[in-house]
Chain A
Amino acid sequence: MIELLRRVLRSPQGALGLVLVGLILLVVILGPWIAPYNPESLAPLQRYKPPSAQFWLGTDQYGRDILSRLLHGARATVVLAVFATALGTLAGALIGTISAFLGGRSDEAIMRTVDAVMSIPSLLLALLIVNLLGKSSLNALLAIAIAFTPGMARVTRSVALAVRKQDYVNAAIARGESAGFIVWREMLPNVVAPIIVEMTIRVAFAVMLFATLSFLGLGAQPPASEWGLMVAEARRFMHLSPWMILWPSLAVAFVAIGFNLLGDGLRDALNPRT
């Protein structure tokens, strides 16, 4: 683990990504404690304030402190995105592994179906599913997980097939190792690394997708301080206070950049041959 961190820190992307994601996790954990105000407390006299010493990022249409809302909202946005990605990865990895393992016609049938599902844009699929399940954060999480599943299945299958062709797997078969040993000890450690990289990059995408769903009114519901929702609500007041819309937008981009950088850093660090 220490070794991995050291290797991630070696590339500029990895180092920067690690710092950003570290900051994000800190905010996710400590956000509610370090927030200077209650994110729900209304202050009719303090509406549409620009950034100041009192309100670092300004206030919104109800006079709520934007910084406090962002700090509280980090949990809603980031944690959900991570869970959604993990769930989608798990489901996709399962389908991809089974497909690669079965091979032949079953593999082809599964993969053609996965391709077919992938022809529905992720956002549209998520919209349809949320619409089916009802608007809520939890349903948005499920929708994103389902939308990610086919893509992860494809990645997992191609990685598993590439590993399956390696001679160390052939050597294990020729040595008479059990199927379980071959899958768990020989193949899995080599399959997991690229999947972790793909997953990290997809967290960035999930944050964006989840915020977009909330923005369209189909994810988190008011008065939650989810960032996409904050942007949606702030749109009406754009002329009165551009800060209201700017901060949550930048927060989403910040998280996405962090995970994108970390994913690329991990890609280099997890390559066993460098």
Chain B
Amino acid sequence: MSPAYILKRIVLVGYTLLVVSLIVFAITQILPADAAVMMLGENATAEALAALRAQMGLDAPIWAQYGHWLAGVLRGDFGVSMRTGQQVGPVMIEALGRSLLLALFSIVLMLMLALPLGIIAAVRRGRIADLVVSVISYIGVSLPEFVTATLVVLVLADWLQWLPATGYVPLTENLLQGLRHLVLPVLTISVILIAHVSRMVRSELVDVLHTDYIRAARLKGLPGRTVLYKHALRNALLPTITIVALDIGYLLGGVIVVEEIFALPGIGRQLIVAIQSRDLPSIQAGALIMAATYAVASFLADIAYARLDRRIQYD
């Protein structure tokens, strides 16, 4: 992997963020609501409105507004929330931290379950185990987060009363309580990911197990475990990296729903609140940070893939 490849990928991340910033700005700035009216109320005087617009830069041409906003973003200044009057940036970054914790736990749980399930299904292809995994994954990919959340709350919180249904306790405050509050959200997010990734692992591994080099490894007299773990998995898991990276985008969408349902103060919940209250700077910051998270994650996945796959010569 050459430095030129990494440079190229970094340029692409920059381009991605530029496009996203344009889209987010375009969508939010042509919102029907007039930001100044929203802040001051319907009865505000024309002078007061004009003064506020001038202060917020809303009277400038749209391109100038975009440039002004982008310049601020590049300095780390996302503006002031129209709802709370606080700086948006630090609030969103703090919320992102909590969401990333949720995402991280979900990815770990997903990998712990999806890999074995996919491997079992591929190795026992056409047998009962394969069928069971297949049924599980069909059901899993067909459950939207709000349905999964409903079901886990109904069973684990409501009937069995094992876990709290909603709320958030920082891990630094009380580790055990904090973790207990994370279980249901993590479970909810993981279900769809487990279903999807285990299916992908299965199909990749089934393909790899049919290649000439796996047959060659078997016919060299290597034991089945060596063939599976040393020869097959390595090749099957490489494409899975890309799939997991793509799923991070889906996971971030799921985070929005799950945080709303479980009242977790992460970036998804901040976004929903911002959208409901039409808090433009918060919406812009939240959407941009989320897209940036995805862009960085897929950048890292690409680099990891390039490092692991020796075949491809990147330039």
Q: Give A contacts to B, CB under 8 Å.
A: 112-113, 115-124, 127-129, 131-132, 134, 204, 208-209, 211-212, 215-218, 228, 231-232, 235, 238-239, 242, 245-246, 249-250, 252-254, 256-257, 260-261
Query: Which of B24-32, B107-115, B236-244 lies at the interface?
Result: B24-32
Query: Which of B53-61, B84-92, B139-147, B304-312 lies at the interface?
Result: B139-147
Q: How far is the CB of B272 from chain A (nearest CB, A)?
A: 7
Inter-chain contact A115/B16, CB cutoff 8 Å: yes
Inter-chain contact A131/B31, CB cutoff 8 Å: yes
Further pairs besides A249-B146, A260-B138: 17, Cβ < 8 Å: A115-B12, A115-B16, A119-B294, A121-B253, A127-B256, A127-B275, A128-B283, A128-B287, A129-B27, A212-B146, A212-B257, A231-B150, A242-B154, A254-B142, A256-B144, A257-B142, A260-B142
Q: How far is the CB of B54 from chain A (nearest CB, A)?
A: 25
Q: Given contacts A124-B252, A204-B142, are A249 and B147 in contact (CB under 8 A)? A: yes
* Bound complex: CA A266 to CA B262 (Å): 38
**A134, closest chain B residue (CB):** B32
Q: How far is the CB of A105 from chain B (nearest CB, A)?
A: 14
* Bound complex: CA A113 to CA B15 (Å): 8
Contact with A along B6-48 (1 / 0, CB 8 A): 0000001001111110011001101110000000000000000
> Which 8 pairs from chain A and chain B are nearest by CB?
A256-B142, A123-B253, A121-B253, A116-B19, A208-B144, A116-B16, A249-B147, A257-B142
* Bound complex: CA A117 to CA B19 (Å): 7
Chain A residue contacts of B27, Cβ below 8 A: 128-129, 131-132
14 contacts between A and B (CB under 8 A): A115-B12, A116-B15, A116-B17, A128-B27, A211-B146, A211-B147, A215-B144, A238-B154, A242-B154, A245-B150, A249-B146, A249-B151, A252-B144, A257-B138
Inter-chain contact B275/A119, CB cutoff 8 Å: no
* Bound complex: CA A127 to CA B149 (Å): 20
Chain B residue contacts of A232, Cβ below 8 A: 146
* Bound complex: CA A117 to CA B15 (Å): 11
Q: Given contacts A122-B253, A204-B142, are A249 and B20 in contact (CB under 8 A)? A: no
How many residues in B have their beta carbons less than 8 Å from beta carbons of A?
A: 48
Chain B residue contacts of A253, Cβ below 8 A: 139, 142-144, 147
Chain B residue contacts of A122, Cβ below 8 A: 249-250, 253
Q: How far is the CB of A126 from chain B (nearest CB, A)?
A: 9
Chain A residue contacts of B49, Cβ below 8 A: none
Chain B residue contacts of A124, Cβ below 8 A: 252-253, 256, 271, 287, 290
Contact with A along B234-276 (1 / 0, CB 8 A): 0000000000000001101110110010000000000110011
* Bound complex: CA A204 to CA B147 (Å): 14
* Bound complex: CA A211 to CA B158 (Å): 23
| Residue in A116, A128, A134, A212 whose CB lies within 8 Å of B145 | A212
* Bound complex: CA A217 to CA B30 (Å): 21
- Interface positions of B from 122 to 143, Cβ below 8 Å from A: 138-139, 141-143
Chain A residue contacts of B150, Cβ below 8 A: 231, 235, 238, 245-246, 249
* Bound complex: CA A254 to CA B147 (Å): 11
B291 at the interface (CB under 8 A from A): yes
Inter-chain contact A121/B30, CB cutoff 8 Å: no
* Bound complex: CA A123 to CA B3 (Å): 35
Inter-chain contact A260/B141, CB cutoff 8 Å: yes
Inter-chain contact B141/A216, CB cutoff 8 Å: no
Q: Give B contacts to A, CB under 8 Å.
A: 12, 15-20, 23-24, 27-28, 30-32, 138-139, 141-147, 150-151, 153-154, 158, 249-250, 252-254, 256-257, 260, 271-272, 275-276, 278, 283, 287, 290-291, 294-295, 298
Inter-chain contact B257/A216, CB cutoff 8 Å: yes
Chain A residue contacts of B12, Cβ below 8 A: 112, 115
B143, B254, B298 pick with most chain A CB within 10 angstroms: B143
Chain A residue contacts of B31, Cβ below 8 A: 131-132
Q: Given contacts A128-B28, A132-B31, A238-B153, are A123 and B257 in contact (CB under 8 A)? A: yes
Chain B residue contacts of A246, Cβ below 8 A: 150, 154
Q: Given contacts A128-B28, A228-B146, are A123 and B256 in contact (CB under 8 A)? A: yes
Chain A residue contacts of B294, Cβ below 8 A: 119-121
| Residue in B15, B158, B291 whose CB lies within 8 Å of A120 | B291
* Bound complex: CA A228 to CA B147 (Å): 9
**B151, closest chain A residue (CB):** A249
Q: How far is the CB of B101 from chain A (nearest CB, A)?
A: 18
B15, B141, B254, B278 pick with most chain A CB within 10 angstroms: B141
* Bound complex: CA A102 to CA B150 (Å): 48
* Bound complex: CA A61 to CA B158 (Å): 19
Chain A residue contacts of B291, Cβ below 8 A: 119-120
Inter-chain contact B249/A231, CB cutoff 8 Å: no
| Residue in B16, B23, B30, B144 whose CB lies within 8 Å of A211 | B144
* Bound complex: CA A246 to CA B147 (Å): 8
Chain B residue contacts of A257, Cβ below 8 A: 138-139, 142
* Bound complex: CA A250 to CA B31 (Å): 35
* Bound complex: CA A123 to CA B275 (Å): 13
B23, B276, B278 pick with most chain A CB within 10 angstroms: B23
Q: How far is the CB of B163 from chain A (nearest CB, A)?
A: 15
**A235, closest chain B residue (CB):** B150
Inter-chain contact A119/B146, CB cutoff 8 Å: no
**B260, closest chain A residue (CB):** A216
